[in-house]
Structure 1
Amino acid sequence: MRGIVIAILTFFSMLLAVAAGAQSAERWAELPAFPSMPVAKTSGMADVNDIKMYYAEYGEGEPILFIHGGLGNADVWGHQVADFAKDHRVIVADSRGHGRSTRSQQPFGYDLMTSDYIALLDYRKIDKVTLVGWSDGGIIGIDMAMKHPEKLTRVIAQAANVTTDGVKDDVLKNKTFRHYIEVAGDQYRKLSPTPTEYEAFSRKMFEMWATQPAWTAAELAKISVPVTLAIGDHDEAVKLDHTEMMAKDIPGAKLVILKDASHFAMLQDPTGYDAMIRDAMAGR
């Protein structure tokens, strides 16, 4: 009898182990909550172009600018800020119309948002940064690499695309991505100076996404700063073959596939994500 009991307990232990392994292997299917942000060393609203742009800084050392994705805000970077502020000057900001930043009547566009970040760096008297961009933030990083390479030490772009056909047709049917849009709306209503305008704001963003970006291989070939392109192996939005094409068209670009991660890798695997950034900064 004792042997039967031990066998049964062993069997159920194996089942639990398998279930736990399956759950951990599917972290890419979940959207973790945005982490708490550390206390900022300084923060404020910068007069940038025709808007007021929220920014915050943490730590000291070589500067790193983290740029969030579309519909989101700077608070997505809580894990990364806590890590990199230990040995770097970390800058985060809300892109125009996002989070705490205001927007104007100008149509959204990547060139315009890139010019906002250039103006913010000048406002904070920062000559050069390592730019880490996620999704739209990565696209802004690539735009900056083409048009303002003098402001960059390197670009680390995760889940970026350079043409509209780099985005998967069924992205809005994906439950994790739909959940993100809902969370982004909740945060917009809490943070924005225009809290009732999320639908109007998101509609303007979707209009931009319908036609931008639209860069050619010849334009990408002119990039001279070091570029790392990262993408989760389960990205809901950006096609892997599109990212591989980008890595071929951008001179010297390095491609990194983030294991068991999706479009939201910085939240799903912060330890691995931060290691990817440090490897890129070290030239590995």
Structure 2
Amino acid sequence: MRATAFAMLTFFSMILTAAGARSAERWAELPAFPSMPAPKVSGVADVNDIKMYYAEYGEGEPILFIHGGLGNADVWGHQIADFARDHLVIVADSRGHGRSTRSQQPFGYDLMTSDYAALLDHLKISKVTLVGWSDGGIIGIDMAMKHPEKLTRVIAQAANVTTDGVKADVMENKTFKAYIDVAGDQYRKLSPTPNEYDAFVTQISHMWETQPAWTAADLGRITVPVTLAIGDHDEAVKLDHTEMMAKQIPGAKLVILRNTSHFAMLQDPEGYDGMIRDAMADR
């Protein structure tokens, strides 16, 4: 009887351990945004028809990090702490996001790309490595098509080039819902229009319904080196869509970020930074 009881206790212990491991999978959690280092320079630039917040850290070869939809530059805290040791790191809040203003002009990726091109001109930075996440990755691909002269390379994580690259059930995912809640809280703390989050979401949602809409011919004209990264548990972007992008962009390299989701830069900062450094070393 004792042996049987011991075996049963061991069996149930194994079940509980396995269940705990499943609940603790890092790809299923949304870590808190990290604390931000003090910038070397920060300010607000008059860009197109908005005021765009930006910050600079460190010195060296420049890297521009562009955040995803609804978010802000503070998502890059881990990456800033790493790359500012040996690079000039530039971050900014896209139009309407974070500390930047928006206008009544409809949101569009071409428009946001022109904002970042104008920001680089304002900062007198001629060429950057562009690291973009989600909407930021889409802006990076758009920049490669519209302003290749401003880019050394593009590293785009969780980007899509047509609307059918987005999973239909993304808004039902609990981790993604948690991100939307966090983004709303941060908007209310940072935005010059803190009570207009719902109006902002409505505006940008119109863009997401129809954009981007690039063809294989569009992607085939890209001449900038491109690395495409995606988490193996991404909640929002389809893996086969990313694989298709890698085939259509000349010379593009595909990187699968293991045991991470759409929020890989928060879930595995060390692995994420290593992916960027590998891409930068691959000339």
Cα offset for 1:13?
8.0
Q: Which residue of 2 aligns with 1:22?
A: 22
Distance 2:258 2:113 in 1: 30
Distance 1:145 1:246 in 2: 14
Residue 95 of structure 2 aligns with an amino acid whose one-letter code is R
Q: Which residue of 1 aligns with 2:169?
A: 170
Q: Which residue of 2 aligns with 1:123?
A: 122
Alignment of 1:1-284 (within 5 A): 18=18, 21-24=21-24, 26-283=25-282
Cα offset for 1:105?
1.0
Residue 256 of structure 2 aligns with an amino acid whose one-letter code is I
Cα offset for 1:16?
7.3
Residue 278 of structure 2 aligns with an amino acid whose one-letter code is D
Provide structure 2 residue ranges, at least 5 long, that are not aligned to the other structure: none
Moved more, 107-116 or 9-18: 9-18
Q: Hey, which bits of structure 1, 4+ residues long, moved more than 2 A?
A: 6-24
Q: Provide the aligned length of Structure 1 versus Structure 2.
A: 283
Distance 1:212 1:11 in 2: 51
Distance 2:256 2:177 in 1: 23
What TM-score do you get using the length of structure 1 for normalisation? 0.94
Distance 1:18 1:170 in 2: 27
Residue 228 of structure 1 aligns with an amino acid whose one-letter code is T
Superposed CA offset, 1:49-97 (max 9, x none): 1110000000000000000000000000000000000100000000000
Residue 219 of structure 2 aligns with an amino acid whose one-letter code is L
Superposed CA offset, 1:96-153 (max 9, x none): 0000000111000000000000000000000100000000000000000011000000
What TM-score do you get using the length of structure 2 for normalisation? 0.94
Q: Matched residue of 1:103: which SS?
A: coil
Cα offset for 1:22?
3.5
Sort the Cα spacing of 1:175 and 1:20 in 2 relative to 1 into closer, same or farther, 3 A: closer
Distance 1:152 1:108 in 2: 23
Distance 1:181 1:100 in 2: 17
Cα offset for 1:226?
0.5
Superposed CA offset, 1:201-251 (max 9, x none): 001111100000000000000000100000001111101110000000000
Superposed CA offset, 1:137-181 (max 9, x none): 000000000110000000000000000000011111111111111
Q: Matched residue of 1:230: which SS?
A: strand
Residue 41 of structure 1 aligns with an amino acid whose one-letter code is K
Q: Matched residue of 2:210: which SS?
A: coil
Distance 1:7 1:161 in 2: 51
Residue 46 of structure 1 aligns with an amino acid whose one-letter code is A
Residue 97 of structure 2 aligns with an amino acid whose one-letter code is H
Residue 256 of structure 1 aligns with an amino acid whose one-letter code is V
